[in-house]
Amino acid sequence: MRTAKIERKTNETEIVLSLNIDGKGTSQIDTGCGFLDHMLTLFSRHASFDLEVSCKGDTHVDDHHTVEDIGICLGMALSEALGDLRGVNRYGNMILPMDEALILSAVDLSGRSYLGYELEIPTEKVGTFDTELVEEFFLAFTRQAKMTLHFKQLAGKNSHHIIEGAFKSVARSLRAAVFVEAGNTEIPSTKGVL
């Protein structure tokens, strides 16, 4: 089983996160930020990753530190669980419809961190959640996961649908990228390492 457990404590957040990328999509999420809980729950389900997240953060200030630090921990966990990436597909992509929204994501487990972020979220908030934090989450996540991630919004007017489409799309892309075909033990690079 490809698993990882990350514990991270700062002056702003205290996080315990467990990830099993060979799971069934079960989750137990308590971040103190309801919208992020919703996004991580559906991320877990669509990636087929088992995910547990507990966070005590300074949400009395705002959700920024909580969202960013959970992105950091999730990226660290993914990197640790994948190890040397032996046998993985490496690449994954998905064009995902979410009502009027249509979101493309593409992932390369390259060992190189890059986020191409072309989402145009029309409102500053969804409920109490600052929509600019979506980019902060994925920046933190891609940096620590050491992967390339591109988002392109092909359609969409509703902020909730655009964001939910992005989380579901990247979950499906990762599900494909981390898949290991039976018997495959090769590093998916001509360099021999990732």
Q: Is residue 188 part of a domain?
A: no
Task: Return the DSSP state at 180.
Answer: B
Alpha carbon of 142 to those of 24, 115, 183: distances in Å? 23, 7, 28
- How does pLDDT run across 70-93, given as a tens digit for each residue? 999 999 999 999 999 999 999 999
Q: Kindly state the tokens that stand for 173.
A: 């892309």
- How does pLDDT run across 28-70, given as a tens digit for each residue? 999 999 999 999 999 999 999 999 999 999 988 899 999 999 9
* Amino acid found at 164: E
Q: Is residue 194 part of a domain?
A: no
pTM score of the predicted model:
0.95
| Residue 106, domain extent | 3-177
Domain with residue 17: its CATH number is: 3.30.230.40
- The tally of domains found in the chain comes to 1
